[in-house]
Structure 1
Amino acid sequence: MTARLFDRAWLLSDSPQSRTQAAWGRRYRLWRDFRANRPALIGFVTVMALLLCAIFAPLLATHDPVAQNLGQRLQPPSAAHWLGTDELGRDVYSRLLYGARITLGMVLAVVALVAPVGLAIGCIAGYYRGIADVVLMRVTDVFLAFPRLILALAFVAAIKPGMTSAVIAIALTTWPPYARLARAETLTIRDADYIAAVRMAGASPGRIILRHIMPLCLGSLIVRVTLDMSSIIIFAASLGFLGMGAQAPSPEWGTMIATARRFLLDQWWVPLIPGIAILVASLAFNMMGDGLRDALDPKQG
C-alpha cells in the first residue's frame, strides 16, 4: 500500500478499483491543484515553518525569554542578540520564538473549540429546520449583532484578563459564521437523493447528521477556518495589546508590542519585529486559505 501512494498512475486512475484508491486519488489531485498555486504553497511552507519554530522554540532560542539584563537593555540587533533586546534587556529573538507558541497555541485552541460547535449547530438547524432552526439561528444572530472585539473585551473584563479567558472570549465571538456556513451547506444536502435513501434505510437523524451531512460540510468549513486563522491571530494580539490577553512577562506578540510601543521612533526593532511576525503569520494563513478554497471548490477545473 505504501508503495502505491508514490505511483502516480495508480493515484490518477480514471477507474479506481477500490474505495481506498479513489480516496487517495482525490487527495492527490487536491494536493496537486494546491501545489500548483504558488502563493498558496508559499503560505503553507511559511505556516509549517512557524509551527516548527513554535514547537522547537527551546532548541532554537539563544537566551531565556524572560531573563532580564538591564545592562543590555535596548541593544540593536547584533551577533549576541540577533534581533536586539527590549527595555528590560531580554532577547527579542528568543521572546519571538516563545511568543509563537503562545499566539499559535491560542489560535489552535480557538479553532478546536469553535469549529465543532459551529458545525454541530449549523447541521442540526439545517437538518431539522422548524423551531430548532429558528431558535438556534436567533441565538447566532444575537452573537453576530455585537462587535466582536467589544464582546470579547466585556467577557474578559467580567472574568479576569489572561490567556484562558482570551481563548474563551475569542471562541464565543467566532463560532456564529461557522454555524451559518454549516446550515447553508446542510440545506442544500438534506433533500438529496442519497440522504433520502439513507433515511429510508432506517438511519436515525443523529446518524445521518454525523455520518453523512457533517463530512460533506467539512470542505467549506476547513477553508473558512484557515482563512479565519489570520483574523484570530490579530484578535488574540489585539487583546494582548489592550492588556486583556496574555499577561507580562509572557512573550505574546501583542503584549510585546504593547510594552514597547513607546520605543517605536528610537528603538524601532523592539515593537516592529513582533508586528512583522503578526503580519507574516496572518498573510501566510490567508494565502494558504485562498489556495485551499481554489483546490476544494468543485467548480474549479
Structure 2
Amino acid sequence: MTDMAQPQHWRAWLLSDRPASRRQARLGRAYAGWQRFTTNKLAMVGLAIVLGLVLVAAFANVIAPYSPVEGGDLRTERLLPPSAAHLFGTDDQARDIFSRVVYGSRITLFVVVLVAIIAAPIGLVVGTVAGYAGGYLDAILMRITDIFLAFPKLILALAFVAALGPGIENAVIAIAITSWPPYARIARAETLTIRSSEYISAVKLMGASPWRIVLRHIMPLCVSSLIIRVTLDMAGIILTAAGLGFLGLGAQPPLPEWGAMIASGRRFVLDQWWVAAAPGAAIFIVSLGFNLLGDGLRDTLDPKASDQ
C-alpha cells in the first residue's frame, strides 16, 4: 500500500457504515465529530486561542522576559509606555506588564480547570440522581439548586469568599460552589428523557441496581451536554475570578492575576492606559476563545443541532 493510499484506507475504516468493533465505532464517531468541528472556522479560532492560553501558561518562564513580581528602578522604570524593552509597558511598581500577563495565564488556567473539575461532577451527580429518583429526593435537590440559582453568581461568590477569607484557593472554592447548579439542571433534564427509554428498561430487566444504572448508563449519556455547558461557562468563570481579584478577594499581591492588575491600573487609566488595558485585553481574548470553542462543541456534540 502506497503512502498516499494509507490515509484513505484509515479514513474509510473510520467512516465505515458497518464497524467491526466498539473501538472502531467510537473512533469513527470521534473522527466524524472532528470533521464537523473543523468546518466551523470560528470554533477553530476559539480552539487556537485556548491552546495558545495553555501553551503560554506552560512556557511562561520561557516567554516572559522579566520576573512577574520583581520590579525595576522606581525612579526610572515606573509607568513606562509600551516599547521594545517592555512590550506592554510597566506598572506603578516598575514591573513588566507583559511578563505579568504571561504569568497571569497560569492563574487563569488554574482557576478554570479547578472550577470545572469541582463543579461539573457535583452538578452531574445531583442532576442525574434527582432526575432518576424523582419524588421527594428530586424535590429536595432541585429546591436546593433553585436557592443557589436565585442569587447572582458574583454576589454569591463574594459572600463565600468573605466567609472563607481572601485568596486564590478560596476564590476557586467559592466559584465552584456557585457554578454547579446549571449543570445539575442540564443533567436532570437529560436524565428525565433517558430514564424512560427502552435502553434503560432493558438494563432494569437485566437486574441492574439504580446506582449502577445512574453511574454506568445515564451519566455517560449526559457528559456531552455537560461538556458544552462547561466550555461555554469558562468565560463566566474567568470574569468572576477577575471580579473577585478586582475587589481584592481573589489572588493576593504580588501574584499577577488579571483582575487584580486591572484594579491596580484603574488609578492610571486616563494617562497610563496600558497598565489596565493589557490584562483587560487578555481577559477579553481568552473569554472570546472559550465562547467560540463552546459554540463549536455545541454544534458538533449536540445531535439536535447537527440534524438541523
Name the TM-score class by shorter chain: over 0.9
Aligned partners of 1:47 and 1:159: how far apart in 2?
30
| Structure 2 residue 48 is the aligned partner of structure 1 residue 45 | yes
Structure 1 gaps of 5+ residues are none
> What is the rounded CA distance, in whole Å, between the counterparts of 1:5 and 1:218 in structure 2?
31
In the aligned structure 2, how far is the partner of 1:18 from the partner of 1:133? Answer: 38
TM-score w.r.t. length of structure 2: 0.95
Following superposition, the deviation at residue 103 of structure 1 comes to: 1.3
Deviations 1:118-173 (A, max 9, x none): 00000000001011101101111111112221111111112211111111111111
Separation in structure 2 between the aligned mates of residue 174 and residue 22 of structure 1, nearest angstrom: 34
Q: Distance in 2 between matches of 1:298 and 1:159?
A: 42
Pick from 120, 124, 127: which aligns with 2:125?
A: 120
Alignment equivalent of 1:62, drawn from 62, 65, 71: 65
Distance 1:263 1:35, change over 3 A: same
Q: Let me know the Cα RMSD of the aligned residues.
A: 1.3
Moved more, 269-278 or 73-82: 73-82
Q: Letter of the aligned partner of 2:50 in structure 1? A: V
Q: Does 1:188 align with 2:219?
A: no
Q: Distance in 2 between matches of 1:54 and 1:98?
A: 7
Correspondence for 1:210: 215
Aligned counterpart in structure 2 of residue 91 of structure 1, from 93, 96, 102: 96
- 1:9 matched to 2:12? The reply is yes
**Secondary structure of 2:303 counterpart:** coil
Report if the CA contact (8 A) 1:73-1:87 is conserved: yes
- Counterparts of 1:88 and 1:251 in 2: how far apart (Å)? 12
User: Which letter maps to 2:41?
Assistant: R
| Equivalent pair of 1:5/1:11 in contact (CA under 8 Å) | no
Which structure 1 residue ranges, 4+ long, deviate > 4 Å from structure 2?
Answer: 3-6
The separation in 2 between residues aligned to 1:116 and 1:218, in whole angstroms, is 10
Residue in structure 2 matching 1:30, options 30, 33, 39: 33
Identity rate of aligned residues, in percent?
A: 61
Q: Distance in 2 between matches of 1:86 and 1:151?
A: 32
Give the aligned residue type for 1:278. I
* Counterpart amino acid of residue 18 in structure 2: S
The C-alpha deviation readout for 1:183-226, integer Å capped at 9, x for no partner, is 00000001111111111101111111111000000010000000
- Within the alignment, does 1:268 sit opposite 2:278 as a pair? no
Q: Paired residue for 1:241?
A: 246
2:3 maps to which residue? none
- 1:289 counterpart (285, 294, 297): 294
* Conservation of the 8 A alpha-carbon contact between 1:63 and 1:94: yes
Q: Cα offset for 1:297? A: 1.7
Deviations 1:246-277 (A, max 9, x none): 11111000000001111111111110010000
Partner of 2:184: 179
Task: Write the distance in 1 (CA, Å) between the matches of 2:173 and 2:9.
Answer: 42
Task: Find the aligned partners of 2:177 and 2:101 in 1 and give their Cα distance.
Answer: 27
Aligned length: 299
- For 1:166, which of 164, 171, 189 is the aligned residue? 171
Q: Structure 2 CA distance, aligned partners of 1:108 and 1:244?
A: 19
Task: Return the offset for 1:5.
Answer: 10
Query: Which secondary structure state, in structure 2, belongs to the residue aligned with residue 7 of structure 1?
Result: helix
Say if 2:235 is the partner of 1:219: no
- Judged with a 3 Å threshold, the aligned counterparts in structure 2 of structure 1 residues 251 and 6 are, in CA distance, closer, same or farther, namely farther
Per-residue displacement from partner, 1:30-62 (whole Å, max 9, x unpaired)? 000011000000000110011110111111110
Report if the CA contact (8 A) 1:241-1:257 is conserved. yes
